[in-house]
């Protein structure tokens, strides 16, 4: 009998070493990739949102989506026959320091399924404690679950590699959280998200074995990962392991360049939050650039050092890859080759970044001077608060036939003026800098062989019109806390087509409202979730 139309095909918990201790007690778990553990029962599970597209890729029918069994399984209240849920063991570098064993403290992997030749792992977040919960409760609250559910889907539609989300359920239980870590704890609604990805293996899964000098299990995990997720690499050998590392670098770079393109700030780029498949994973105190600012991070926990700020995400990806290389070194034993790959990453990511920025500017050819055009623009965008999404989207309206602006002229800026938060802050000197940049940009556009219309089309494929602005998620959260879930579903719909002009969604193509400027949940988020 198939359950919910799912074709169960577990491998991780069948082929890799398990923790022999079956008690759900918090501990160090040695020589094992995971511990078997079941989700906890909740008092009153209700499904409040789901992604029909994710259900489809898993082979779940509309009828099954509406069933009681669906609600029970994806809130953790029923375990599918023939499956053996588990929590993964991993470690991680947090904020630059080795943190030891972390693991799935509140994520429980339900099963893997095969549908249309694709393998998917299904994981609940917030379904109760595991051996890796340390001092925490294994639960998640509604606000952070809404943020994870919505953005997983939004990122996919933006073309950013990401884990997906199948469902969002309320547990019916209350969860105590001290949101700003200031002693003001309060009860919030508990929730569970079912996440979906080819795999949830992280850099930290490899690091934990290396940290314990456990070469045997590190090799097993590397072989397993290559067999299922990098199968073209072939049989284990030093060369294939090096190629594996190279491909993880390629995928990571691709993900980070997409983050920079859309203005996404992850907020907690610890190595336990870096997927071995180059997927954006663990949506916590993330945020979207509204005012373009290389120094911005939404994460209040990182307020003092701003290690994970927007303008530093590329550097951090290299740092994280170096930690992964350190771990794989135990098996590969070839520092020179690993270093070579990292050195190349450092220069390649710069190149990839400029190439991506050229596409945002609508420059199809590569010309000398393009890099300085980008660098000068980055500086300008930060001189007065300028909305990143609106700026790049409106820039596609520029015509290369437009006459070059003369000194004192302000009219040329009218096409993008909606992007400025404080037009009164555009002083004479900022205006003059804009004019000089504008002239260079127009002259550069004239070298393009494609016409305005074609350039606009191509720019609008890389510069989204709709992103999940921090305040939008907060509006959905405020409504949901009052029992109204309609905005979650409306936003899911808006974010399904982020590059298309949709008059009915135009109200979301606006700058962050002033009330959200310094509001907790909008511009400031903590790791408490």
Identify which of 168, 153, 171 has the alpha carbon closest to the alpha carbon of residue 45: 171
Question: Residue 275, interface with Mg ion (CB under 5 A)?
Answer: no
Q: Which of 5, 105, 236, 311 binds ligand AMP (CB under 6 A)?
A: 105
Query: Residue 250 contacts by C-beta under 8 Å, 6 or more apart in sequence?
Result: 278
Q: Which of 76, 85, 103, 362 binds ligand AMP (CB under 6 A)?
A: 103
Question: Residue 148, interface with Mg ion (CB under 5 A)?
Answer: no
- For residue 206, the minimal CB distance to ligand AMP (Å) is 15
Question: Residue 284, interface with ligand AMP (CB under 6 A)?
Answer: yes
Residue 30 interaction partner, one of Mg ion, ligand AMP, none, beta carbon < 5-8 Å per kind: none
Identify which of 106, 101, 332 has the alpha carbon closest to the alpha carbon of residue 208: 101
Residue 250 bears catalytic tag:
no
User: Which residue's structure tokens are 């409106």?
Assistant: 394
Question: Residue 137, interface with ligand AMP (CB under 6 A)?
Answer: yes
Q: Which of 104, 214, 223, 387 binds ligand AMP (CB under 6 A)?
A: 104
Of 265 and 268, the one with the shorter C-beta distance to ligand AMP is 268
Choose the stretch contacting ligand AMP; rule: CB under 6 A; options: 7-15, 134-142, 404-412, 491-499: 134-142
Alpha helices in 361-427 (DSSP H): 370-381, 388-395
Cα 52 to Cα 63, 64, 65, 153, 233: the distances in Å are: 12, 11, 9, 11, 33
- For residue 275, the minimal CB distance to ligand AMP (Å) is 12
Question: Residue 273, interface with Mg ion (CB under 5 A)?
Answer: yes
**Distance of alpha carbon 76 from alpha carbon 70, whole angstroms:** 10
Spot the catalytic one: 214, 223, 272, 302: 272
Helices (H) and strands (E) in the chain, counts: 16, 11
Question: Residue 35, interface with Mg ion (CB under 5 A)?
Answer: no
- For residue 147, the minimal CB distance to ligand AMP (Å) is 12
- State whether residue 480 is helix, strand or coil: helix
Q: Which of 85, 138, 362, 464 binds ligand AMP (CB under 6 A)?
A: 138
- State whether residue 55 is helix, strand or coil: helix
Helix, strand, coil percentages for the chain (3-state, nearest 5): 45, 15, 40
Question: Residue 159, interface with ligand AMP (CB under 6 A)?
Answer: no
Of 308 and 485, the one with the shorter C-beta distance to ligand AMP is 308
Question: Residue 282, interface with Mg ion (CB under 5 A)?
Answer: yes
Of 26 and 294, the one with the shorter C-beta distance to ligand AMP is 26
CB atoms within 10 A of CB 180: 13
Cα 425 to Cα 201, 387, 437, 529: the distances in Å are: 47, 14, 18, 37
Q: Are 111 and 143 in contact (CB under 8 A)?
A: no
- Binding residues for ligand AMP, rule: CB under 6 A, are 102-106, 132-133, 136-139, 268, 272-273, 282, 284, 527
Instruction: Give the interface with Mg ion as residue ranges (CB under 5 A).
Output: 273, 282
Q: Which residues are known catalytic residues?
A: 272
């Amino acid at each position: 009998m198939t359950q919910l139309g799912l074709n169960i095909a577990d491998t991780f918990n069948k082929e890799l070493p398990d923790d022999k201790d079956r008690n759900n007690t918090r501990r160090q778990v040695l020589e094992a990739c995971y511990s078997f553990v079941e989700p906890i029962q909740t008092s009153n599970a209700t499904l409040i949102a789901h992604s029909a597209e994710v259900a489809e890729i898993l082979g779940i029918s509309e009828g099954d989506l509406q069933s009681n069994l669906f609600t029970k399984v994806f809130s953790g209240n029923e375990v599918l026959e023939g499956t053996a849920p588990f929590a993964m063991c991993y470690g991680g570098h947090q904020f630059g320091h080795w943190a030891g064993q972390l693991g799935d403290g509140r994520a429980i992997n339900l099963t893997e399924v095969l549908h249309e030749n694709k393998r998917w792992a299904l994981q609940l977040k917030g379904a109760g404690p595991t051996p890796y919960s340390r001092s925490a409760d294994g639960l998640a609250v509604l606000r952070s679950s809404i943020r994870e559910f919505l953005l997983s889907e939004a990122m996919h539609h933006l073309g950013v590699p990401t884990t997906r989300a199948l469902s969002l359920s309320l547990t019916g239980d209350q969860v105590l959280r001290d949101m700003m870590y200031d002693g003001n704890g309060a009860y919030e609604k508990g929730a569970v998200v079912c996440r979906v990805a080819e795999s949830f293996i992280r850099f930290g899964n490899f690091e934990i074995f290396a940290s314990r000098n456990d070469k045997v299990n590190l090799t097993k995990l590397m072989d397993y990962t290559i067999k299922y997720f990098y199968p073209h690499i072939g049989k284990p050998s030093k060369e294939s392991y090096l190629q594996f590392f190279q491909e993880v670098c390629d995928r990571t770079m691709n993900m980070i360049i997409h983050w920079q393109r859309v203005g996404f700030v992850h907020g907690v780029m610890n190595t336990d939050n870096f997927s071995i498949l180059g997927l954006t994973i663990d949506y916590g105190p993330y945020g979207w650039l509204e005012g373009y600012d290389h120094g911005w991070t939404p994460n209040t926990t990182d307020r003092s050092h701003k290690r994970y700020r927007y303008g530093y995400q590329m550097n951090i990806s290299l740092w994280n890859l170096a930690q992964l290389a350190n771990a794989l070194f135990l098996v590969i034993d070839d520092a020179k080759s690993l270093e070579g790959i990292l050195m190349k990453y450092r220069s390649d990511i710069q190149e990839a970044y400029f190439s991506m920025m050229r596409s945002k500017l609508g420059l199809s050819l590569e010309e000398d001077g393009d890099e300085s055009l980008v660098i000068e623009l980055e500086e300008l965008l930060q001189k007065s608060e300028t909305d990143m999404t609106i700026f790049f989207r409106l820039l596609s309206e520029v015509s290369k036939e437009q006459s070059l602006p003369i000194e004192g002229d302000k009219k040329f800026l009218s096409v993008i003026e909606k992007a400025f938060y404080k037009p009164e802050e555009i002083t004479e000197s900022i205006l003059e800098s804009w004019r000089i940049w504008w002239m260079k940009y127009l002259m550069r556009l004239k070298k393009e062989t494609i016409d305005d219309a074609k350039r606009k089309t191509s720019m609008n494929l890389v510069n989204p019109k709709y992103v999940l602005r921090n305040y939008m998620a907060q509006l959905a959260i405020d409504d949901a806390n009052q029992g109204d879930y309609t905005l979650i579903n409306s936003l899911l719909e808006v974010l399904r087509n982020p590059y298309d002009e949709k008059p009915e969604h135009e109200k979301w193509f606006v700058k962050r409202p002033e009330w959200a400027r310094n509001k907790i949940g909008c511009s400031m988020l903590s790791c408490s979730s």
